[in-house]
Structure 1
Amino acid sequence: MNNELIIVLSLLAATIVMFAINRPRMDAVALIMMTVLPLTGVIDVSDALVGLSDPNIVLIAALFVIGEGLVRTGVAQKLGDLLIRRAGRNEARLIFLLMVIVTGVGSFMSSTGVVAIFIPVVLRIARNARIPASRLMMPLSVAALISGMMTLVATAPNLVVHAQLVRDGYDGFSFFAFTPFGIPILILAIGYMLIVRRFLGAAAPAVDLAQANRPHLSEWIDEYKLTSREHRLRISSQSSWIGKRLDELDLRASAGINIIAIERRKRLSSEIIEPIAQTELEAGDVLFLDVRSATVDLPDLCERFALRELQLSGNYFADHSQAIGMAELMIPATSSLIGKTVLDTRFRSEYGVTVVGLKRRQTAVEGDLLDKPLKLGDTLLVAGPWRAIKTIQDHKRDLITLNMPAESDDVVAAPSGAPFAIGILALVVGMMVTGVVENVQAALIGCLLLGLFRCVDMNSAYNSIHWQSLILIVGMLPFSIALQNTGGVDLAADALLDAVGNADPRLVLATIFVLTAILGLFISNTATAVLMAPIALAVAAELGLSPYPFAMTVALAASAAFMTPVSSPVNTLVVAPGNYSFFDFVRIGVPFTVVVLITTVITVPLVFPF
């Protein structure tokens, strides 16, 4: 062992210690080591920065953006809603469907992001089904980790191992190379979680007090007596309203009709626009109306102006809660609205929302609200597009936001983009599978298409990228180069071969799996893959065997981070909502890691022969 190798190993040991105690944070440690390693003379600055030019780093960043597209368009949320509808209160069915859906979604986006999306969904399911949240949170984290065993792009360690194969002159893994191992492991995981769920405690379901105390749209609909006031009308191509501005029609004053929102077709999708005085109506527009006056003859109105009434499936646009929302506002002492009527204030033109209810001294005021002077302390219920409701909170001098409904947490930014997000994801996967273009190009094309169809914008795209993960990978790659330059990789491979070199190759795979899993207890699975991949390939070369079973074993072991709550961010996220202890992960995770080890050793050589 030479002096240079001793220096590198010392720095690596220091890195592992800092990772284990999380001081400083992991990406900062990676930056420190990326700076220090060139100072030792083992590598130069270009080697230290090699990760910044690695196409896989760009690919990982692009995949974060694609995952954000699935979130912003509501695709991930709709899968959660499907889970609620299909499973009901059956705990076994819930666990089965939850793990299948989470694994499926996590195959194409960040597993950490998937867990973050599904935690509130699972808590809501647990409350409604009267199931302890601890019975569902562990299956959630296990499924998210297994999703990393499904496709090439499912998790960063897969891409790290793939990149190491390419650097060593081999063909990388195909997109679905991991799937033959992920599916049987998922099946075993579902059966395992159905058996061990009884050991996950029987504490009362976790309750989010803040969420529980917030009103729901259905409560406001009853409280303000809004039922039967809602209507949806489509403007036909023969309507005389086409080309008319809303202030010309003046429906509020002439007929007691308020237009809450307008749904308008744009390109291949539709969008909800805020109705203001200058808005011109177009053929095909769908008007969301609040009709207060009992004297309005809606069939006659439709006949005279060539309008068609559309059906509603919920009370007061409840079936359109992704597009139209509500909020309760209070008139403060500083408000310039005091003494003015809603008509006087041009409320809809000024704030983009419509006043649909009024409470005075905690009592809902019935009848026409437009001509009633507003008073200090009045509570207004407003309805309109969610973006208008959220921006109204900026007008704190005139209006104070008292309550936002619980449903506001479930609103997605671009619901009309869901079909495009699904189609773009299918296109990206298709390009990766067929190899028409490089994986990174396929992902970048997907990102550009998501922007073109407004599934993401630039701010959400940048914010979606988990920069800490990227810096961690970039900062750990120089260690791999340093260990290779100083003979550390060969030394580790020789030590491994001395221990099990004459044994059956499956025992060598098992040893590599165990070492990778143990190292993953102390550092991130991405960093583990960076360090173990070159060692595994060196062992394969020394034995004269195919590198693919050894590389695949490292990738699968890196995703098998079931044993402690700090093995993966996925586990850390579910600790609090599941009310888990450290030992809960040990007693559930260690046996299942052994199951994954056995499955890996049996199945990998069948798909990738030695």
Structure 2
Amino acid sequence: MTLDLAIVLVLLVAAIVMFAIGKPRMDVVAVVMIVALPLTGILSLSETFAGFADPNVVLIAALFVVGEGLSRTGVTYRMGDWLARTAGTNQARLIVLLMLSVALLGAIMSSTGVVAIFIPVALSIATRTGISPRQLMMPISLAGLISGMLTLIATTPNLIADAELTRSGFDGLGFFSFTPIGLVILALGIGYMLFARRLLGDGGTKRPPRRTFDSLLVDYDVDVRTHRYRVGSRSPLSGETTADIDMGSWRARVLMIARNRLFRPTVRTSADATQVKRGDVLYIDAAIPDAQLEKFDLTRLEPTEEFFDSYSRQLGLAEILIGPDSIAAGKTLREMRFHATYDLVVLGVRHSGHNVTGEYVTAPLAIGDTLLASGAWDAFEKLSTRDHGFIVLDLPAEVSEVAPAANQAPFALASVAVMVVLMVTGIVPNVIAALIACLLLGIFRCVDMASAYRAIHWPTILLIVGMLPFATALQQTGGIDLVVDGLFAVLGGAGPSVMLAGIFVITAVIGLFVSNTATAVLMAPIAISTAAQLEMSPYPFVMMVILAASAAFMTPVSSPVNTLVVEPGRYSFGDFVKVGVPFTVVVLIVSVLLVPVLFPL
């Protein structure tokens, strides 16, 4: 092993470790590597920054905009409405249609975005039918991942593998090259979930016909954390706003104020802050010490069963999911000034199925976390329309609210159809086809420039650009040959089918710790070099990388798609293991059998 290779491997291991622990963010890790690689002298500046000029990076950015066009015009939500009407209360039919809908949309737009859209749809159906969300969330995530196996543009690893083939001097993959395999796996996935859903149970009880205030408060332990105090006539708090209340070293958060049997939510905005008055009843999220009660002339009141329920006409209460592109990821509620910005008070936070205890306002939020918030009902509707990555659960907004360009839906579908035709026929390069679709979406006012820029997931772009130089560095320093030689030492005499299985397993295992995008960047060159050593076609080996990168079924952290459904489905780590591992084995077997048939060795 040369010194240069050792340096590259140290940087690669450091990147993988940081990806696995989630600190710092993936895009920050990518930037660190972009800075580190040229400093080692192994790569030149042009080689390090070649990713910024890669057509596939532009293609991926354009596809984010295409997906935004489908969302803004309400195409995705109308499909959800159709699903609810067609499925009725038949659970098996619902799962089949739900998975088909998610897979179909995921074949032409981000699977993570599709899953985020369908979570509220599925919860709404669960509320109306009494079906447990545990029976619906896992099928959604499974279909979202399988959608990556249906078309060339369905997921980033497909495009990365295609680009690596082109760089190695081979023809790229076609738009529908691996659709037959994806359809077989989708059919098996649907059949599998009709059986495997029984392994998930219903969480002890099915979802009630309608989620009540009481059940939400109990879920987040708000009922046991909240205390009531009456403001006395001599209280220094009288006249203070809820934002300015200061009890010295002891911090108290006023959740709401009851006044003369009328309720006004304690939502502070830049234009208005709720003032405390004598005789008010304050609902506070912790017990106030006796010494503070006397000092501030507060009287402790007994708990009341009515709590939030009696104020439901004035007060909204709902769960908010931190979406995949949320500005809240990695930030605290206090840093975001959530209360002031969104006119909503957060009553509790759940992370990985558990309530965050203590000062949850200072705990960093993560994708998949849920917040229990209270405020005016229209504040939740406004939150749904903002492009901040929050998903309001159990409070579906009207399509007109969520889809500001609803009347342009036919034009959005026509624009996507033009893109697909151009990609399938090969009249123009894929990146030009996607940019043409973006221009058409803009011309027809399906998207505007502001929403187009917001739609691009820049962390993903930076991740790709930052990881692509590693493939070049490993090739130049002999790292690819080292991995291939090791693979041959272990599996070389076992035949090509075993070698294909080996490529799949290695990719799937790496994908447990690293994003599937980074996994594809690392494994695609290895697959091509392995094929060259065997003097076989590279296509079946690259296909195994593509299929394995999308087969991230085994843990809740294998993919953002899985992370999103953890809290709405109340899943544990073990739920993903017992459902995901067997199906991953199924996908492995199907891939080993079908890939050599469609892509001869």
Name structure 2 gaps, 5 residues minimum: 217-270, 273-310, 315-339, 344-374, 382-394
1:570 aligns with 2:561: yes
Per-residue deviation at 1:45? 1.4
CA deviation map 1:544-589 (0-9, x unaligned): 0001000111011000000111111100111110111111111111
Residue equivalent to 1:79: 79
Give the residue type in structure 2 aligned to 1:161: A
The aligned counterpart of 1:546 is 537
| Correspondence list, 1:116-131, <5 A | 116-131=116-131
Partners of 1:473 and 1:569 in 2: CA distance: 16
Matched, 1:605 2:596: yes
Q: Deviations over 1:382-435 (max 9, x none)?
A: xxxxxxxxxxx99x9xxxx95437564542111111000111111100000001
| Paired residues of 2:501 and 2:588 also in contact (CA < 8 A) | yes
Which residue pairs with 2:207 in the alignment?
Answer: 205
CA distance in 2, matches of 1:484, 1:210: 59
Residue equivalent to 2:8: 8
Distance 2:425 2:483 in 1: 37
| Residue identity matched to 2:511 | G
| TM-aligned CA deviation for residue 48 of structure 1 | 1.2
Matches within 5 A, 1:466-505: 466-505=457-496
Q: 1 CA distance for matches of 2:490 and 2:576? A: 30
Q: 1:408 to 1:595 in 2, by over 3 A?
A: closer
User: 1:328-379: CA deviations, max 9, x gaps?
Assistant: xxxxxx99xxxxxxxxxxxxxxxxxxxxxxxxxx9xxxxxxxxxxxxxx9xx
Are residue 584 (structure 1) and residue 575 (structure 2) matched? Answer: yes
Tell me: CA distance 1:402–1:545, structure 2 relative to 1, closer, same or farther (3 Å): closer
Partner of 1:507: 498
What's the counterpart of residue 61 of structure 1? 61
Distance 1:407 1:539 in 2: 50
Distance 2:556 2:540 in 1: 28
Q: Classify 1:114/1:32 alpha carbon distance in 2 versus 1 (closer, same or farther; 3 Å).
A: same
| Counterpart pick for 2:422 among 431, 436, 439 | 431
Conservation of the 8 A alpha-carbon contact between 2:127 and 2:211: no
Contact 2:176 2:424 (8 Å CA) reproduced:
yes
Judging changes above 3 Å, is the alpha-carbon distance between structure 1 residues 596 and 510 closer, same or farther for their aligned structure 2 residues?
same
TM-aligned CA distance change 1:23 to 1:485, over 3 Å: same
Indicate whether 1:152 and 2:143 are aligned: no
How far apart are residue 201 of structure 1 and its match?
Answer: 2.5
Q: How does 1:293-304 map to 2 (within 5 A)?
A: none
Measured in 2, the distance between the counterparts of 1:111 and 1:211 equals: 34
Deviates more, 1:453-462 or 1:492-501: 492-501
Aligned position for 2:585: 594
> 1:174 — aligned with what?
174
Deviation, 1:210, is 7.7
* Distance in structure 1 (CA, Å) of the matches to 2:398 and 2:39: 49
Aligned to 1:70: 70
Q: Distance in 2 between matches of 1:567 and 1:106?
A: 18
Shift of residue 3, structure 1, vs aligned partner: 1.1
The change in CA–CA distance for 1:210 and 1:537 in structure 2 (over 3 A counts) is: farther
Aligned residues: 434
What is the DSSP-based 3-state SS (H/G/I as helix, E as strand, rest coil) of the residue aligned with 1:413?
coil
User: Aligned to 2:520, which of 529, 532, 544?
Assistant: 529
Q: Which amino acid aligns with 1:513?
A: F
**Cα distance between partner residues in 2 of 1:593 and 1:168:** 29
1:503-530 deviations in Å (ceiling 9; x for gaps): 2211100000000000000000000000
Question: What is the rounded CA distance, in whole Å, between the counterparts of 1:199 and 1:9 in structure 2?
Answer: 41
User: What amino acid is aligned across from residue 160 of structure 2 in structure 1?
Assistant: V
Name the counterpart of 1:114. 114
Once the 2 structures are TM-superposed, how far is the Cα of residue 157 of structure 1 from its aligned partner?
Answer: 0.1
Cα distance change, pair 503–128 in 1 and its aligned pair in 2 (3 A): same
* Separation in structure 2 between the aligned mates of residue 433 and residue 147 of structure 1, nearest angstrom: 18
TM-superposed CA distance for 1:205, in Å, is: 2.5
Q: Aligned letter for 1:205?
A: R
User: In structure 1, how many angstroms separate the alpha carbons of the residues matched to 2:417 and 2:194?
Assistant: 32
Alignment partners' CA distance in 2, 1:486 and 1:605? 31
Deviation string for 1:5-34 (max 9, x for gaps)? Answer: 111111111111111100101111111011
Structure 1 counterpart of 2:453, from 444, 451, 462: 462
Deviation at 1:37, TM superposition (A): 1.0
Give the secondary-structure state (helix, strand or coil) at the position aligned to 1:84: helix
Distance 1:542 1:92, change over 3 A: same
Confirm whether residue 446 of structure 1 aligns to residue 446 of structure 2.
no
Structure 1: distance between partners of 2:18 and 2:114: 27
Percent identity between matched residues is 59
- Give the equivalent residue in structure 1 for 2:317: none
- Greater Cα offset, 11-20 or 164-173: 11-20
SS in 2 for 1:602: helix
Greater CA radius of gyration, 1 or 2?
1
**Distance in 2 between residues matched to 1:113 and 1:402, nearest whole Å:** 27
SS at match of 2:494: coil
Amino acid at match of 1:185: I
For residues 377 and 416 of structure 2, what CA distance do their matches in structure 1 show?
37
Q: TM-score, normalised by structure 2?
A: 0.69
Per the alignment, residue 142 of structure 2 pairs with 142
TM-score under structure 1 normalisation?
0.68
- Matched position secondary structure for 2:554: coil
Sort the Cα spacing of 1:210 and 1:530 in 2 relative to 1 into closer, same or farther, 3 A.
farther
Instruction: Decide which moves more: 543-552 or 193-202.
Output: 193-202
Distance 1:19 1:110 in 2: 21
Give ranges in structure 1 of 5+ residues lacking alignment: 214-333, 336-361, 363-376, 378-392
